[in-house]
Amino acid sequence: MEEGKGEVGLHRLFRFADGADAALMAAGAAGAVASGVAQPLMPLVFGEVVDAFGSGSRHDVLHRVSGVCLKFFYLAVGSWFACFLPTAKISTKVLMLFNVSSEVACWMITGERQAACIRGLYLEAVLRQDIAFFDKEITTGQLVQRMSGDTILIQDAIGEKVGKFLQLTATFVGGFVVAFSKGWLLAAVMLSGIPTVAFLEEKMMYEEASQVAADAVVSIRTVASFCAQERVVTVYNNKCQASRTQGIRTGIIGGLGFGFSNMMVYTSSALCYFVAAQFVNHGKSTFPSVFKAFLSLILAMIGLSEASTIASDTKKAKEAATSIFSIIDKKSKIDSSTGEGLTLDPVNGDIEFNHISFKYPCRLDIQIFSDFTLNIPSGKNAALVGPSGSGKSTVIALLERFCDPDSGTISLDGVNIKNLKISWLRNKMGLVSQEPVLFNDTISANIAYGKNEVSEEEIIKASRAANAHEFISSMPQGYNTVVGERGTQLSGGQKQRVAIARAILKDPRILLLDEATSALDAESERVVQDTLNQAMVGRTTITVAHRLSTIQGADMIAVLNNGMIVEKGTHEALMGMEGGVYASFVELRSGTA
């Protein structure tokens, strides 16, 4: 199923319900119908009260009203059983604490259960998608909107509001049955007052605006440094304008419809009163019968009116489910959650790129590689240099299988990496990027992110290897220090060393360094580079860098330009090529140093 293709059917909203949910829904439905049917039975009893008060003697009134009160008691007991007994089987404490009826409790419980399942499955589905999915199919704003707002819409539609809808529908049907049994002609007259309800929605228009807001919050420091707050607000307001226009149009139509509905209610009421008076006057009906029919119809109309608003919420939930379920059902071309694939033991770390052709799915007009070939022997450090856009970081992305080449093969120890288990492959690699991503958690948790079931001793050992233990220990909270959003409580060098410790912790056979020191000052670069040099020992390493201090000690340097390797060799060999690309690059860097 693809996003935007069709609308999810009502029954599909319940596709993730299990046996327990089915039992909850059955109990809730039974309670809702019983509770709904009980409502139109009250006019019958009220009619007897009216008839009793209209009787002759006082003693007769007291006797008849006492009998009616007993019926009210029976109705109360029956309603209690209908409303509360199914819930008591589930949780008496919940019943006593919240004092809610079965249809509310049962449907709220099952709604929460199913919504939690949907949220979990949606997040799993998003995380198993390949990187191209995030580049071209979804934005942060859409993801946040669907995880929070859309799932709540679905939860409401499959939870409490289902029970409410069943109850109101039962009230509507029961009210008309009672009304037609007491005065079918009067009931037919009142049918003329049923209004038509239309629904409009503007949900999709808010997603773009949500993305603007999400980007601004994530990049708040950049926004502030450029004094761009007003610009962000202006863009956000412009994105919201279409939604506001649609909302105003909906409000006008809704207001006109509401006014028309009220007019029809009063008009039909006047007509019914007149017709009822004629019936009583000509002896075709009695006042108690008219009263019962009229009150039953009022309850039926109230039920219909409230049920129609719930139908509107259901429509919105179906629209929300369309986008969410399409992602849950989406099959990823590169699914790291699958257990399929080979594993190698031992891993030497020989890497080979054979005649690679590649374009990014979101930029099909740009050819990154057309015939790219590169061999990196086990335990060697290969540095990739070249201008921006030459494909250096793409080499790492392809090796990690964030995306796959259009043609050609990438091999690890002679085995095509497409045949390897993805999670195993990535666990054999340690990636340190230019801007390390740290989560708003403790330093210990950020380091442990690189490995499951890690001990404190292992974390400290990795930190020592990354030259991070000393600065971590000097902090008041030590390893329990919270690094803040995106690691804002740490300096650039400290963040980088935490990232290196995280990479070292899983003891990768292959180390991937993507501009790992380019954003650091000279002192921090020296410390981090020393750390990286230690980490490289015995590991196959691919280094993407611009700084000479980072690349000149590499075992092999590959110079990329327009997706091709134009020169390859050691620093000394490449410097010996008169007029070579690398030599010119070094001279340029030396001149600007």
Bridge partners, 385 (sequence order):
559
Name residues whose C-beta falls within 8 Å of residue 38's C-beta, 6 or more positions apart in sequence: 75, 78, 79, 82
Can the peptide bond before residue 405 be classed as cis, meaning omega within 30 degrees of 0?
A: no
The pLDDT of residue 355 is above 90:
yes
- The fold adopted by the segment(s) 10-328 is ABC transporter transmembrane region fold (1.20.1560)
The pairing of strands 407-412 and 369-376 is unpaired
Tell me the per-residue pLDDT of 473-484, one tens digit each, with 9 for 90 and over: 999 899 999 988
**Contact present, 498 and 470 (Cβ < 8 Å):** no
The pLDDT score that the predictor gives to residue 210 is 56
Query: What burial class does residue 308 get, using C-beta atoms within 10 Å of its C-beta: 0-12 exposed, 13-18 middle, 19+ buried?
Result: middle
Tell me the per-residue pLDDT of 241-263, one tens digit each, with 9 for 90 and over: 666 666 677 667 656 666 666 67
Mean pLDDT for the chain? 76
The mean pLDDT of 505-516, rounded to a whole number, is 87
The pLDDT score that the predictor gives to residue 499 is 87
Name residues whose C-beta falls within 8 Å of residue 454's C-beta, 6 or more positions apart in sequence: 448, 505
DSSP summary character for residue 193: G
The pLDDT of residue 424 is above 80:
yes
Tell me the per-residue pLDDT of 386-399, one tens digit each, with 9 for 90 and over: 888 888 889 999 99
The mean pLDDT of 25-41, rounded to a whole number, is 81
The pLDDT of residue 340 is above 90:
no
Domain boundaries, the chain: 10-328, 346-427+553-593
Tell me the per-residue pLDDT of 543-581, one tens digit each, with 9 for 90 and over: 998 777 778 888 999 999 888 899 999 999 998 888 888
Token pair recorded at residue 518: 């380019």
The pLDDT of residue 212 is above 90:
no
d(CA 578, CA 582): 10
Stretch among 160-164, 211-215, 255-259, 381-385 having the lowest mean pLDDT: 211-215
Confidence of residue 90 (pLDDT cuts 50, 70, 90): very low
Can the peptide bond before residue 508 be classed as cis, meaning omega within 30 degrees of 0?
A: no
Considering the chain, what percentage of its residues have pLDDT values greater than 90?
14
The pLDDT score that the predictor gives to residue 410 is 95
d(CA 227, CA 118): 40
The pLDDT of residue 333 is above 70:
yes
Stretch among 1-5, 58-62, 91-95, 243-247 having the lowest mean pLDDT: 91-95
The mean pLDDT of 493-507, rounded to a whole number, is 86
The pLDDT score that the predictor gives to residue 354 is 94
Q: What's this model's pTM, rounded to 2 decimal places?
A: 0.67
d(CA 478, CA 497): 15
**Which CATH code fits 346-427+553-593?**
3.40.50.300
Tell me the per-residue pLDDT of 182-203, one tens digit each, with 9 for 90 and over: 777 767 766 655 544 333 334 4
The pLDDT score that the predictor gives to residue 59 is 58
Confidence of residue 74 (pLDDT cuts 50, 70, 90): low
The pLDDT score that the predictor gives to residue 576 is 86
The mean pLDDT of 417-436, rounded to a whole number, is 88
Considering the chain, what percentage of its residues have pLDDT values greater than 70?
72
